[in-house]
Structure 1
């Protein structure tokens, strides 16, 4: 844990018990503005890089959350979740919506945390202002219940075609306690294992897919700025 991360951990959890510390860490990370502008793929440096820049996306957010939760003695694994950006609930402008239809399947990162006897999804991706854009912001988390997933997980049978019945509910039953791969997810105990798995995925992308992704990221970033400017 870097000195900056350690300082933030102390600041966010000072005088709080375990449950309130979990909530405080979650809320501080959730409130970091979501941004795809700067790649932060190294789990060893991404948390500090994000804190210094004051913005980041699902990867560095959950690397940081896992690092802090592990410091508290909690068991955490990384959940890699397949999804598509063409989500009908996101209030894209027409031009951006058109771009999403040409994107390949993407992969989201969240955490699964053992709380009591259950493994629950903890997703701190979207910051509150993005609720105006149709993003499922996790507000008022109680430190125990499962959060909404930031995206609609693609189950294995529909990985290449969007399922209109998909929701942001976690791919699991409410009574499931075991740590095991879930439909639509790939779990890793270590951040480095997730990073290795993700690199294997992105190296298979075609040049035209990479071009479309970069164009989408640029336009998506502009749109997020406009959402945050709305009253």
Structure 2
């Protein structure tokens, strides 16, 4: 397999692992859990790119949580921090965001495709500047609020992961089957 095909294969392997915030939070357990959050998926990509001989780094930014599930409105704020990978290809840092697995497109979440060269679409639209190692303090969600409602955060996380599972199940039942037009 050539270098270009290896990059795409790595991306697809990570992107196709189900996204969930109640799964792995690091690269070493992503494939064992079989699901993971953006931290785990971006860390796995970075480790994979490094193993393939590329320079790679984490990039983070603030974003707003999606409107679903309805429990999101119980949170004191919808602001969160997203993690993705950047890889140096042909002298240019390229955004590679493999966060959302394909069935989640049915819910309107951004599911990236990657040609192995250009930036992917980010899973979440940045609210403000991107942060890279060496840029100073990392972005902190809700830095301007004092609310700390742990119960609503836990309720939201459970509802969010349940919603992601429901979206996948619905996508599986509505996906065209072999032989369908």
Matched, 1:17 2:12: no
As a proportion of its length, which structure holds more strand? 2
Question: Contact 1:103 / 1:212 at 8 angstroms: preserved in 2?
Answer: no
Is the CA contact (8 Å cut-off) linking 2:23 and 2:30 kept in structure 1? no
Deviations 1:83-103 (A, max 9, x none): 11045xxxx35x235336x33
Equivalent pairs, count: 170
Task: Give the TM-score of the pair, scaled to structure 1.
Answer: 0.66
In structure 1, C-alpha distance between the alignment counterparts of 2:33 and 2:40, rounded to whole Å: 11
Residue segments in structure 1 that go unaligned for 5+ positions in a row = 1-15, 41-45, 156-183
Moved over 4 A (4+): 204-207
2:119 aligned with 1:146? yes
Q: 1:228 aligns with which of 154, 168, 172?
A: 168
Pair 1:51 & 2:31 matched:
yes
CA separation of 1:98 and 1:105: change in aligned 2, threshold 3 A: closer
CA distance in 2, matches of 1:114, 1:147: 14
List runs of 5+ in structure 2 lacking aligned partners: 175-181
- Say if 1:121 and 1:209 are closer, same or farther in 2 by CA, change over 3 A: farther
SS in 1 for 2:20: coil
TM-score, length-scaled by structure 2: 0.83
CA contact (8 A) 1:137 1:150 kept: yes
What SS does the corresponding residue of 1:124 show, helix, strand or coil? Answer: coil
CA RMSD of superposed structures (Å): 2.6
Deviation, structure 1 residue 206:
5.1
